[in-house]
Amino acid sequence: MQIGEPTPRRKLEPLCDKIGRDNVERVVHDFYGRLQANEMMRPFFANMGDFASHESLIADYWWTVMGGKVDGPRPFDMLGKHQALNLHGAAFDTWLRIFEETLLTYLPPELAQRWLQMALGIGDTMKRHLGLQNN
Ligand code: HEM
């Protein structure tokens, strides 16, 4: 670097740009396939008719959590939707374990960890609000 040249700023790249929309969609699609294949998890999704539109909603959800922009408003009702499901602690643990396995299938460990940390944090908040913290 020449004297007098501006110091390059460290660029903060949002996670959505590091992971990319294609990977988000791949992870989400495969994850819901794996949930469906799991005996404990399948019943929770039994009343959810249209998986494709659910997956697109969830992909947009993660995209915004990672700092990305989506077309139009996407109203999320996390607590309301999950409250109706009678979730329990073991289901949460299984959800997160399958999510971690899926992330590691598609992403290098460092990016998988960063996405997983978000899911763990959101999962903890959900559990607390659903009264499941100590299960
Ligand atoms: C035991 C664990 C979980 C189960 C069985 C579960 C199941 C479901 C089901 C069945 C729906 C669809 C509800 C409907 O449209 O009628 C849903 C919605 C959703 N879930 Fe989960 N979920 C779990 C944990 C999580 C976690 C940990 C996250 C995020 C970190 C998450 C993110 C979402 C989002 C963003 C929606 C869409 C909410 C909306 O429509 O506004 N879920 N979940």
Q: Where are the domains of the chain?
A: 17-40+79-135
How far does the centroid of ligand 1 lie from the alpha carbon of residue 113, in Å? 20
Task: Report the amino acid identity of residue 42.
Answer: R
In this predicted model, what pLDDT tens digit does every residue of 65-117 receive, in sequence order?
A: 999 999 887 888 999 999 999 999 999 999 999 999 999 999 999 999 999 99
Atom 19 of ligand 1 has which residue's CA nearest to it? 78
CB 102 within 8 A of CB 37: no
Give Cα separations from 23 to 16, 52, 103 (angstroms). Answer: 10, 16, 9
Integer Cα distance of 82 and 87 in angstroms: 7
> Which atom of ligand 1 lies nearest, measured to the CA of 81?
13
Integer Cα distance of 63 and 21 in angstroms: 7
Integer Cα distance of 76 and 79 in angstroms: 9
Q: Is the CB–ligand 1 distance for residue 48 below 6 Å? A: yes
- Check pLDDT > 80 for residue 5: no
In this predicted model, what pLDDT tens digit does every residue of 17-27 receive, in sequence order?
A: 999 999 999 99
